[in-house]
């Protein structure tokens, strides 16, 4: 049986390298690479696009838009596109590549010509919020706040270089203009009418991520208990291979402390509910590798669905 073929446009970047490394262990997919001397040659890239089943775009937003135009010029020979940039995440005609978003999402990804790979922060935030919106606990106008910390590998080339050179601070908040590029998809796929406040931060560790959502239980619809929120998460993700809802009685939940790096080099996403019923407050927390389920791992999951590869 012939293998499906994939061209990673932008293979030399952090996400592209991670995808290529993971695909090396997938029997049903073959990666086709471009001559490094021609990686910025539009004609050479377009010629390779015509030869493969799918193209993964690991490019800046403007370059990703240009790459889609190149592919579309091929007409009937155009490959399917998986875009890892921010450019098309809420664009019409594109399917959002978070397979666990909704029970029908996997089928939508399987049949899509254009799939937008999710951002790392929104993967955690949406995974926590969307099931509670669908269950009616969080109303669409609820003023959501999302706080998050990531390893520095999610910040791009200049941030990586600064941390590895020892010139970056040990910890910093950023995105304080409240216009972070992940906010539109976080709002859209959480099904919120009210724009969420998103406060990201970066720490002096290479990879790993925690995304947290604080909630006042008595302000939620129906005044649920924390166990009700946990049950809604369990119901949504039951049977999902890559998403685990940690039991509330788990020792790590009881301890009230959580580190960010234990899922590094995996494609798993773990969700936790911390709560204090005496003050009617809860904090939902998602843990993931920002380079795994938050980037390259999600891309490979989507490619397998798009190409019908087990």
For tokens 């959501």, what's the residue? 144
- Whether residues 198 and 271 share a domain: the answer is yes
- Whether residues 109 and 154 share a domain: the answer is no
- Whether residues 195 and 218 share a domain: the answer is yes
CA 218/CA 91 separation, integer angstroms: 36
The bridge status of strand 4-9 relative to strand 80-83 is unpaired
pLDDT at 253: 66
Q: 35 is written with which tokens?
A: 């001559």
**Domain containing 57: what range?**
4-118+295-307
By the 10 Å C-beta count (0-12 exposed, 13-18 middle, 19+ buried), 292 is classed as buried
- Whether residues 83 and 138 share a domain: the answer is no
State pLDDT tens for residues 20-65.
Answer: 999 999 999 999 999 999 999 999 999 999 999 999 999 999 999 9
Task: State the catalytic residues.
Answer: 120
Main-chain phi, psi angles of 53, to 5 degrees: -80, -30
Rg (CA), the chain: 20
CATH number at residue 219: 3.30.360.10
Q: 77 is written with which tokens?
A: 């020979």
- Whether residues 134 and 268 share a domain: the answer is yes
* Residue 254 pLDDT greater than 90, yes or no: no
- Whether residues 147 and 38 share a domain: the answer is no
The bridge status of strand 197-203 relative to strand 171-173 is antiparallel
CA 266/CA 293 separation, integer angstroms: 8
- Whether residues 84 and 151 share a domain: the answer is no
The bridge status of strand 197-203 relative to strand 29-32 is unpaired
* Residue 1 pLDDT greater than 90, yes or no: no
Count Cβ atoms below 10 Å from residue 158 Cβ, excluding itself: 9
Q: Is the full-model pTM beyond 0.85?
A: yes
- Whether residues 302 and 279 share a domain: the answer is no
State pLDDT tens for residues 201-238.
Answer: 999 999 999 999 999 999 999 999 999 999 999 999 99
In the DSSP assignment, the letter for residue 170 is S
- Whether residues 150 and 188 share a domain: the answer is yes
CA 159/CA 202 separation, integer angstroms: 10
């Amino acid at each position: 049986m012939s293998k499906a073929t994939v061209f990673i446009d932008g293979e030399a970047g952090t996400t592209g390298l991670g995808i290529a490394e993971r695909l090396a262990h997938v029997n049903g997919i073959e990666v086709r690479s471009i001559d490094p001397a021609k990686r910025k040659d539009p004609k050479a890239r377009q010629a390779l696009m015509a030869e493969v089943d799918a193209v993964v775009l690991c490019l800046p937003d403007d370059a990703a838009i240009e790459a889609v135009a190149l592919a579309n010029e091929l007409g009937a020979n155009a490959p399917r596109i998986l875009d890892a940039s921010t450019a098309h995440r809420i664009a019409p005609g594109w399917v959002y590549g978070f397979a666990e978003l909704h029970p029908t999402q996997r089928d939508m990804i399987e049949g899509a010509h254009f799939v937008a790979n999710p951002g790392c922060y929104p993967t955690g935030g949406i995974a926590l919020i969307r099931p509670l919106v669908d269950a009616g606990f969080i109303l669409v106008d609820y003023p959501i706040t999302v706080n998050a910390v990531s390893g520095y590998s999610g910040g791009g080339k200049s941030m990586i270089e600064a941390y590895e050179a020892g010139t970056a601070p040990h910890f910093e908040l950023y995105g304080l203009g409240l216009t972070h590029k992940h906010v539109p998809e976080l709002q859209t796929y959480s099904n919120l009418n009210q724009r969420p406040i998103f406060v990201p931060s970066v720490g002096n560790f290479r990879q790993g991520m925690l995304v947290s959502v604080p909630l006042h239980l008595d302000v939620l619809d129906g005044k649920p208990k924390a166990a009700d929120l946990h049950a809604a998460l369990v119901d949504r993700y039951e049977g999902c291979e890559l998403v685990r809802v940690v039991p509330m009685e788990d020792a790590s939940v009881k301890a009230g402390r959580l580190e960010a790096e234990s899922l590094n080099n995996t494609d798993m996403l773990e969700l936790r509910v911390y709560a204090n019923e005496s003050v009617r407050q809860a904090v939902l927390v998602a843990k993931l590798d920002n380079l795994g389920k938050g980037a390259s791992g999600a891309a490979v999951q989507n490619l397998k669905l798009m190409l019908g590869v087990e």
